[in-house]
Structure 1
């Protein structure tokens, strides 16, 4: 298999994986719906940079070493699961709080307008980056992807091209998703369904985070008694 074929296969597999529902997808949908296009685009940039770092770590073998050391991988699972659980509980708590404030404001002469804006572009970028880089499933995916498709003897130019492709496709997909979701007509419809989107995304983050934490605790328990 020549290097062009390898790169084309790598791009195809990665593109399919990007479109699969998961924490990254849910993060873009939830925040673009709630905060608008600019926030969605900065989250897309953060996610794509997280994917780039995962790709570099996998290509250099660092991620493989982490995966092969149960204690290190368990720590990553604890961090990743805790962060996703934090996002999920935060989304559900925010939804409950907004409903509570709405009921309270209905009885006030001058209701307070809720502030749904993230504090900065940096926060949006950081949230996207952290969500991807702390996801242990992403680490396993890129280790598997690189080890199965990128041969050891592949040229440095081709490896560099692989990194650019993975980063570029990620940025393209998440930016496109944020752009489409924030079109004026669709944004109006999405805003009406914002509470349902927040609920679904909150549940998704909570379930994934809880599952990762449960796996981590199980692995740590097995290591402790082995």
Structure 2
């Protein structure tokens, strides 16, 4: 029981730290509404579920340097492209149920969430580390860990989308969304650039 509490706490604390997924949910909610943003939440949870299943089923390949390098390269490029898209996109919040920006669909948000999660090498390393910490647990217990983590990721992301999707939150976001979108774009570009620089240094060394 103590082991489960420790692992569950470490996993949840990691979710509380704002990252790329958080910015994606914020933008999806403020520009397309919370219902469309659930697509991003589902995509992010699906990506986490894939890594969880791979790590807890003993697929150590996801922690291999060569595969992580490929993920890091693709993830860095993806974040830069997404950050530039944030810069170039119109930042507007609809409070009257009017038309949403083109392309703000559930399916597109799902794809972005899935890509964001799968192209983040930290997810692979994080779940491999957690799996290693509970490697001696029974198969049924490992299944319980995996289901718990997947559920917590999905529920937390949905909570964020719903919290940001209230009329009061959207009204506040309308005032700050233009600069918040630019800030998020800048952060994503920096994240992506840092991933590529780190990869280049490691390869060169």
TM-score past 0.5 threshold? yes
**Aligned with residue 185 of structure 2, among 199, 202, 211:** 202
- Aligned counterparts, 1:1-226, within 5 A: 4-62=1-59, 64-68=60-64, 70-95=65-90, 116-148=101-133, 150-152=134-136, 154-222=137-205
Q: TM-score, normalised by structure 1?
A: 0.82
Q: Please give the TM-score of this superposition, normalised by the length of structure 2.
A: 0.89
Matched-pair contact (CA < 8 Å) for 1:41–1:178: yes
- Please give the alpha-carbon distance, in whole angstroms, between the structure 2 residues aligned to 1:188 and 1:65: 46
- Taking the aligned partners of 1:20 and 1:85, their CA distance within structure 2 comes to 20
State the superposition RMSD in angstroms.
2.0
Higher relative contact order (CA 8 A, sep 6+): 1
Partner of 1:105: none
For the pair shown, the structure with the greater C-alpha radius of gyration is: 1
- Count of residue pairs the alignment pairs up: 200
Residues 28 and 104, structure 2, Cα contact 8 Å, conserved in 1? no
Say which SS state the counterpart of residue 135 (structure 2) adopts: coil
Q: 5+ unaligned residues in a row in structure 2: which ranges? A: 93-97
User: 1:71, 1:220 within 8 Å by CA — same for their partners in 2?
Assistant: no
In 1, Cα distance between equivalents of 2:156 and 2:56: 22
Structure 1, unpaired ranges of 5+: 100-112
In 2, are the aligned partners of 1:34 and 1:194 still within 8 Å (CA)? no
